[in-house]
């Protein structure tokens, strides 16, 4: 049977919508029908704006094609302010909050013709205390965090695209666990205005989609970089594999994904070396954890001072950790990060991108935690562009993949390399 409209990639939908071969109302209705069927099991949404979305779709159907995202329903992570929907940041403190304005990224997507279908579940202040969302592949497993609802909604065909954000690993990890494409751009590439601030030096706006072209389309709409609309994947990128200093955390499934990638690339006749990062990079994992905790203790000062009783134990402990870090030690961490950023280009060397682990392995079989962010932290601290590629499965059949990482600001080439790899890596090694 042909796929339903809600099962199509965003890039397929925008073409059909622009040609008026389908109506935006049909796409929204297909998504709502899928949500009605699956939301009781997956629980991806904190707020659904069904009638408003249908009304908006009908208006778009009556008018001219509005922009790059004309007629596409989007999921908005509940860390992003929306003028017409509640924004709770995953916390009871803000249960009744109704912002007066959209986050800049949300407003820009509306300008490009997107339809905000609703708010997707985030963990508490986008940290590590889980929300209600389950992994759509197996509902006894975590979908990851903090962009849990967004990842689950896209993976379960409830919506073609969704907003995400990453302060540690909150784009890449849920994308990996749910088996979709996740893109964390270079730091600062997409405006953070109107998104709850956690760490001014780490917070990064990203997106989740079904294909690399989907996340490129989303980013083009947000940044105006039209060159992302046609990623030329005929060029063979110069790739190196990199296990990173965190490799001891990788389980058999992530190790197998790395082996599969090496095998496929070798059969294509490519010389793909195993690259080692400089020794100072070994300290970045701890530095990122401490910088994030220090910043959280400051950015969530009002919440911890006035609403301590409404904070989870895990967040309270994280804030206490941040309060215990001295300014001198924090500055030392920042200095290490600056030094490592200055070394990245030389470390990558003649290669265009690195292929590195995304997660320790499959999504853990628990709803009590969101999984280990160990393989995302360092790249977030360095501010580098990352794209998760969902090309394999673990031993129990859950999604597994790797992420493509490139130089700061080289996002187009990273996306192009990711598309090239995604066309080839799913081959069984």
CATH number reported for the structural domain that contains residue 250 in this entry: 3.90.1300.10
Average pLDDT, integer, range 122-131: 98
Average pLDDT, integer, range 141-168: 98
Do 320 and 342 belong to one domain? yes
Q: Cα dist. 246→52, 249, 359 in Å? A: 46, 6, 10
Q: So what's the pLDDT on residue 2?
A: 82
- Residue 234 falls inside a structural domain: no
Q: So what's the pLDDT on residue 1?
A: 78
- Residue 427 falls inside a structural domain: no
- Is residue 297's pLDDT more than 70? yes
Do 281 and 134 belong to one domain? no
Of 229, 247, 279, the one marking the end of a domain is 229
Domain hosting 403: range is: 239-422
Do 130 and 18 belong to one domain? yes
Do 250 and 128 belong to one domain? no
Of 46, 147, 165, 170, which residue is the catalytic one? Answer: 170
Of 91, 146, 186, 289, which residue is the catalytic one? Answer: 146
- Residue 202 falls inside a structural domain: yes
- Is residue 397's pLDDT more than 50? yes
Do 244 and 327 belong to one domain? yes
Of 229, 254, 276, the one marking the end of a domain is 229
Q: Cα dist. 71→24, 130, 161, 165 in Å? A: 5, 31, 12, 23
- Is residue 368's pLDDT more than 50? yes
Q: So what's the pLDDT on residue 427?
A: 73
Residue 170 annotated in active site: yes
Of 77, 119, 184, 210, which residue is the catalytic one? Answer: 77
Token couple for 251: 């389980």
- Is residue 42's pLDDT more than 60? yes
Residue 46 annotated in active site: no
Average pLDDT, integer, range 38-63: 98
| 149: three-class secondary structure by DSSP | helix
Do 313 and 332 belong to one domain? yes
- Residue 35 falls inside a structural domain: yes
Do 183 and 219 belong to one domain? yes
- Is residue 357's pLDDT more than 70? yes
Burial (CB count <10 Å: 0-12, 13-18, 19+), residue 136: buried
Q: Are 28 and 48 in contact (CB under 8 A)?
A: no
Do 203 and 259 belong to one domain? no
- Is residue 398's pLDDT more than 80? yes
Do 414 and 313 belong to one domain? yes
Rounded Cα–Cα distance for residues 177 and 173 (Å): 6
Average pLDDT, integer, range 64-82: 98
- Is residue 15's pLDDT more than 60? yes
- Is residue 175's pLDDT more than 50? yes
Confidence band of 428 (pLDDT split at 50, 70, 90): low
- Residue 184 falls inside a structural domain: yes
Average pLDDT score over the chain: 97
DSSP class of 279: G
Give the number of domains in the chain.
2
Confidence band of 429 (pLDDT split at 50, 70, 90): very low
- Is residue 324's pLDDT more than 50? yes
Of 229, 253, 277, the one marking the end of a domain is 229
Do 60 and 175 belong to one domain? yes
Residue 77 annotated in active site: yes
Do 212 and 172 belong to one domain? yes
Do 325 and 276 belong to one domain? yes
Could you report the per-residue pLDDT of 231-277, keeping only the tens digit for each?
999 999 999 999 999 999 999 999 999 999 999 999 999 999 999 99
Burial (CB count <10 Å: 0-12, 13-18, 19+), residue 68: buried
- Is residue 379's pLDDT more than 70? yes
Least Cα distance to 347 among 275, 419, 427, 297 occurs for: 275
- Residue 428 falls inside a structural domain: no
> In which region does residue 393 sit, left (phi positive, over 0), alpha (psi from -120 to 50) or beta (all else)?
beta
């Amino acid at each position: 049977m042909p796929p339903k409209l809600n099962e199509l990639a965003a890039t397929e939908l925008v073409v059909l919508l622009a040609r008026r071969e389908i109506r935006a109302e049909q796409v929204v209705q297909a998504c709502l029908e899928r949500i009605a069927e699956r939301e009781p099991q997956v629980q991806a949404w904190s707020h659904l704006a069904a009638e408003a979305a249908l009304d908006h779709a009908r208006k778009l159907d009556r008018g001219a094609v509005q922009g790059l995202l004309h007629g596409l329903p989007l999921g908005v992570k509940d860390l992003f302010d929306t003028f017409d929907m509640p924004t709770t940041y995953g916390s009871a403190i803000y249960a009744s909050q109704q912002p007066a304005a959209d986050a800049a990224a949300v407003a820009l997507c509306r300008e490009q013709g997107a339809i905000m279908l609703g708010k997707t579940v985030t963990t508490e202040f986008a940290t590590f205390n889980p929300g209600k969302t389950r992994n759509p592949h197996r509902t006894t497993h975590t979908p990851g965090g903090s962009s849990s609802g967004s990842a689950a909604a896209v993976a379960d065909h409830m919506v073609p695209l969704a907003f995400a954000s990453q302060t540690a690993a909150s784009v890449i990890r849920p994308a990996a666990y749910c088996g979709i494409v996740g893109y964390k751009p270079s730091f600062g590439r997409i405006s953070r205005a109107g998104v709850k601030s956690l760490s001014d030096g780490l917070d990064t706006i990203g997106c989740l989609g079904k294909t690399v072209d989907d996340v490129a389309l989303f980013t083009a709409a947000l940044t105006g970089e039209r060159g992302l609309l046609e990623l030329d994947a005929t060029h063979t990128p110069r790739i190196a594999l990199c296990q990173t200093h965190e490799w001891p955390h990788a389980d058999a499934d992530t190790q197998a994904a790395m082996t599969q990638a090496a095998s496929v690339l070798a059969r294509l006749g490519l010389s793909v070396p195993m690259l080692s990062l400089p020794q100072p990079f070994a300290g970045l994992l701890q530095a990122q954890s401490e910088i994030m905790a220090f910043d959280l203790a400051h950015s969530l000062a009002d919440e911890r001072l006035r609403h301590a009783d409404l904070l989870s134990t895990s967040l309270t402990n994280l804030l206490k950790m941040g309060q215990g870090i001295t300014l001198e030690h924090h500055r030392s961490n920042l200095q290490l990060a600056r030094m490592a950023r200055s070394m990245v280009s030389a470390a990558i060397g003649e290669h265009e991108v690195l292929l590195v682990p995304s997660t320790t392995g499959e999504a853990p079989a628990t709803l009590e935690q969101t999984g280990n962010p160990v393989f995302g932290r360092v790249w977030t601290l360095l501010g580098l562009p990352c794209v998760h590629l969902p090309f394999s499965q673990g031993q129990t059949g859950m999604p597994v993949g790797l992420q493509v990482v490139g130089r700061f600001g080289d996002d187009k080439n990273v996306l192009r390399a990711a598309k090239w790899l995604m066309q080839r890596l799913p081959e069984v090694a």
